[in-house]
Amino acid sequence: MNDIRFGTDGWRAIVADQFTMENVRVVAQAIAAYTREIGQQEQGILIGHDTRFLGRRFAETVAGVLAANGIRVYLVNEAAPTPAVAFGVKHFAASGAVMITASHNPPEYNGIKYIPDYAGPAAPEITSRLEALIRAVQEAGGVRDIPLDEAKARKLLQVIVLRPHYEAHLRRMVHLDVLKQSPLRVVIDPMHGAGIGYVSGLLKEAGVETISIRETADPFFGGSLPEPNDHHLSLLKREVIDRQADLGLANDGDGDRFGAVDRFGRYVPPNAVLALLTRHLVKNRGLRGRIVRTVATTHLLDRMAARYGLELVETPVGFKYIGAQMLRGDVLIGGEESGGASIFGHIPEKDGILINLLLAEMCAWEKKGIDQILQEVCDEYGELFSTRLDIRLPGKERWIQQMLAVPPGQVGPFAVRGVNRMDGVKLLLDGGHWVLIRPSGTEPLLRIYCEAANPAALEQIREAVQDWFIEINA
C-alpha cells in the first residue's frame, strides 16, 4: 500500500513509481467521498493540469472517477496555471478543484493539489481528512470509474474554456492604462510551463514590447527544473542583457510562483519583490491593510509595516496559512520567501502571473528600473541579507528532534535572544539577525533559513550552521 500524503502544497510523487493511474483514481475517489461528506456534490469540481507528462490523461482519469460518483466535472480545455484554476472555482461556483501538477519539482514528478471552495490551498484539517479517506479507499477498495463518453452523455462532464475569464479578472487587478504609457521592454520566461501566453499576452495587449523565451509546452522543461530561482534563470538573465531589456519575468511550472531579473541581468529575490510590491501598493496605489508573511520570510516587511502603521502577521511556512489570513479580509499583501504572493482583491492563492504583471506596472508607474526602486527601498528601510541552506540528513532524525527540542544558545558570535516555535525553531539573535530550522514539507530535507543585517554577519551565521552538520556527520 502506497503512503499518499499531502505535504506543504499537495501530493507529489514520481510518475510510474507512486504517481500512477491507480493511485490517482484512489485520490480522486477520496476527493469524491470528501465532497459528498461536506454536502457539496451538487456544485461540481474543476479539473486542471499543467504541461507535465501525461497531465491531460491524469486529469481525465480524475474526471472519470468523480463523474462515476455523481459529481459534475468542469474539465479545463487546455493546460492552465494553478491560480487560474483556483480563480475558476469562484467563477463557476464550484465546490473545489483538482489540479494535476508537481509545481516546480523535476520533470519526472507529477502531483495533485486539492483546492476547496474558497479558492485557496487546502487547510491542514482538509488534507488530513483526505489522507484518512485515501487510506480507507486503499483498504476497502470501491473506486468507481466511468468512461468520459458516458460522463458526457449523463451530463456529468463539461469541457470549459477558463483563460478568458481569468484574464478578464487580471485586467481588473492590474493598471493596464499605466503600462500603455510606458516604453518598457520586458523578457517573459514561463519556463515551458502552464503560464505560457498569460503574462506576455496581457503585456502585449497593453502595448508593452515583449520578448518571449521558453514559451512552448515541454514536459521535460528544456532539461531543467521549472523553478524560477537564481540558479535556473540563467537563460532569462542572458536574454535581458542581450536584448537590453528593462525587466525579466518568469513563472514556475504551474504559474503560481514568480521570478524577476533586473535590467543588468541580476536575479531579484522574492524577499525583495515582496518589499517592492508592498511599497508600490501603499505609495502608488494608496492601499492599506495587513501585511502577512511566513516565519521564513524577510523581516524587512516588519520594518515597512511599522513605518506605514500597518499590522504585520507572521504565519507558519505554506501559503495555505497566508490564504487563511486573506479569507479573514483586510490583507494588503501576503507572501513567502519561496516566490509565492497574492494581494488585496485577489483569490487567497499565490499567483505568480499576477505578481509579474504588478512588477511591470510598478516599473511603468515609477518610470524606473526595478534595481533603482529597490535601492530606494534599501535607502529608506535598510538592507537585510538572506540565504537558505538545504541539508540532507539521512538517519539523523534524532539529532533533528533534539535540535528542535533544545536549540543552541549561540550561533557563531551571536547570542540567541529569543526562540520562536511557530514552525520548526526560529532563533532570534543579537543584532536583529535570525535563523530558522525546519524540516521541509515537500522533500526529505532540513531547511535552514538565515537573515542578517550585513553580509559579514550572514557569512558568520552560515559558517556556524554548516559546522553543526560537519560535527554530526563526523
DSSP one-letter string for 115-164: EETTSSPPPHHHHHHHHHHHHHHHHH-------HHHHHHTT-EEEE--HH
Q: How many beta carbons lie within 10 A of that of residue 138, not counting itself?
A: 17
- In the chain the first and final C-alpha atoms are separated, in Å, by 36
Beta bridge partners, 249, equal: 188, 260
| CATH 3.30.310.50 boundaries in the chain | 385-472
pTM above 0.85, yes or no: yes
pLDDT for 472 equals: 57
pLDDT (tens, 9 = 90+) of the chain, 474 residues, equals 678 998 777 999 999 999 999 999 999 999 999 999 999 999 999 999 999 999 999 999 999 999 999 999 999 999 999 999 999 999 999 999 999 999 999 999 999 999 999 999 999 999 999 999 999 999 999 999 999 999 999 999 999 999 999 999 999 999 999 999 899 999 999 999 999 999 999 999 999 999 999 999 999 999 999 999 999 999 999 999 999 999 999 999 999 999 999 999 999 999 999 999 999 999 999 999 999 999 999 999 999 999 999 999 999 999 999 999 999 999 999 999 999 999 999 999 999 999 999 999 999 999 999 999 999 999 999 999 999 988 876 655 666 677 777 888 999 999 999 999 999 899 999 999 999 988 876 666 788 999 999 999 999 999 998 887 766 555
pLDDT of residue 70: 97
Nearest to 439 by CA among 1, 7, 21: 7
Q: What is the DSSP string of 259-323?
A: EEE-TTS-EE-HHHHHHHHHHIIIIIT----EEEEETTS-THHHHHHHHHT--EEEE-SSHHHHH
Please state, in angstroms and rounded to a whole number, the distance separating the CA atoms of residues 99 and 79. Answer: 10
Do the beta carbons of residue 114 and residue 126 sit within 8 Å? yes
CB atoms within 10 A of CB 216: 11
Beta carbons of 45 and 94 less than 8 angstroms apart: yes
d(CA 408, CA 419): 10
Is residue 98 exposed (0-12), middle (13-18) or buried (19+ Cβ within 10 Å)? buried
Containing 205, the helix (H) or strand (E) segment is: helix 198-205
Q: How far apart are CA 377 and CA 380, in angstroms?
A: 5
**Cα 174 from chain centroid (whole Å):** 20
Assigned CATH topology for domain 174-381: Alpha-D-Glucose-1,6-Bisphosphate; Chain A, domain 3 (3.40.120)
Which residue spans of the chain are classified as CATH 3.40.120.10? Answer: 11-162, 174-381
Q: Are strands 73-76 and 331-336 parallel, antiparallel or unpaired?
A: unpaired
Q: What pLDDT is attached to residue 391?
A: 82
Which residues contact residue 84 at a Cβ distance below 8 angstroms, ignoring those fewer than 6 apart?
A: 48, 162, 163, 166, 198, 255, 353
* 339 C-beta neighbours (distance < 10 Å), count: 26
Are 462 and 450 a contacting pair, CB within 8 Å?
yes
385 C-beta neighbours (distance < 10 Å), count: 19
CATH superfamily assigned to domain 385-472: Alpha-D-phosphohexomutase, C-terminal domain (3.30.310.50)
- CA 352 vs CA 21, 130, 340, 348: distances in Å: 29, 27, 7, 13
In single-letter form, the type of residue at position 130 comes to L
Angstrom distance (rounded) from CA 308 to CA 228: 30
CB atoms within 10 A of CB 38: 13
What pLDDT is stored for residue 390 in this prediction? 85
**Across the chain, how many H-helices and E-strands are there?**
16, 21
CATH superfamily of 11-162: Alpha-D-Glucose-1,6-Bisphosphate, subunit A, domain 3 (3.40.120.10)
